[in-house]
Chain A
Amino acid sequence: QQQVKQSPQSLIVQKGGISIINCAYENTAFDYFPWYQQFPGKGPALLIAIRPDVSEKKEGRFTISFNKSAKQFSLHIMDSQPGDSATYFCAASLQTGANNLFFGTGTRLTVIP
């Protein structure tokens, strides 16, 4: 059973456009929501993360929006660039326990020049 549902599976955006990737979860005990970026041939790398006590976090062109009541969070990439082309994974985690990080299924983003 997928703990974190992610959509879309793939996304094509023009250079300069906004890329939006959505995730949803059911377990209200999740309390940390990171996003990972993976380039071809590389392992995932932490991009940005948010805790549920804030509704938005911004780092450069990357913003996480968090809706606790809807149990949804999303990644927005402003002014998308070809260098942003990668696979993005959302994740959710619990503070308790060691087996505590659950990933979405991934979104392959392609930014067209």
Chain B
Amino acid sequence: EAQVTQNPRYLITVTGKKLTVTCSQNMNHEYMSWYRQDPGLGLRQIYYSMNVEVTDKGDVPEGYKVSRKEKRNFPLILESPSPNQTSLYFCASRRGATSTDTQYFGPGTRLTVL
């Protein structure tokens, strides 16, 4: 089954404690991205990756890091989480950078930073 998986699905942590949210896709997609979803703000892109070792900032990259060492994986790293990073996070992938390629989303990770 073609899918994007994220782990963990739920996470409660404290300010300053480094965390990583993993993302993996099994569709051999080149393009992957991370979004955060907040009430009244919709989905905002954090980072994206065109391919292995190619990453770039989205609209709200502050406080986040990513890496793309393998095509299938695109982890999101919060080096020093703060309460304003409490949000619902989605990983997504699509075949290429062409906007008309269907974008597939993971099930989401709900993060709470105390």
Q: Point out residues on A near B: beta carbons under 8 Å.
A: 2, 6, 9, 31-32, 41-46, 49, 89, 93-95, 97-101, 103-106
Q: Which segment of B13-21, B79-87, B95-103 sits at the interface?
A: B95-103
Dominant secondary structure of chain A at its interface with chain B: loop
**Cβ–Cβ < 8 Å partners of B97 in chain A:** 97-98, 100
Q: How far is the CA of A98 from the CA of B56 in the complex (A)?
A: 9
For A100, the chain B residues whose CB sits under 8 A away are 97, 99
Give B contacts to A, CB under 8 Å: 4, 31, 35, 40-45, 48, 50, 56-59, 90, 92, 97-100, 102-108
Contact residue among B98, B100, B102, B105 (Cβ-Cβ distance under 8 Å from A43): B105
- Closest Cβ of chain B to A8, distance in Å, is 12
Q: CA separation between A100 and B103, bound complex, in Å?
A: 12
Q: Are B58 and A106 in contact (CB under 8 A)?
A: no
The docked-state distance in angstroms from the alpha carbon of A9 to that of B40 is 8
Q: Is the CB of A98 within 8 A of B31?
A: yes
Given A9-B40, A98-B48, A98-B56, residue A45 in contact with residue B100 (CB < 8 A): no
Chain A hits for B42, CB < 8 A: 2, 6, 89, 103-106
CB within 8 A of B90: which of A9, A32, A43?
A43
Q: Are B43 and A95 in contact, CB atoms less than 8 angstroms apart?
A: no
Given contacts A95-B98, A98-B31, whether A46 and B103 have CB atoms under 8 Å apart is yes
Instruction: For B104, list chain A residues within 8 Å (CB).
Output: 43, 45
**Max chain B CB contacts within 10 Å: which of A32, A49, A101?**
A101
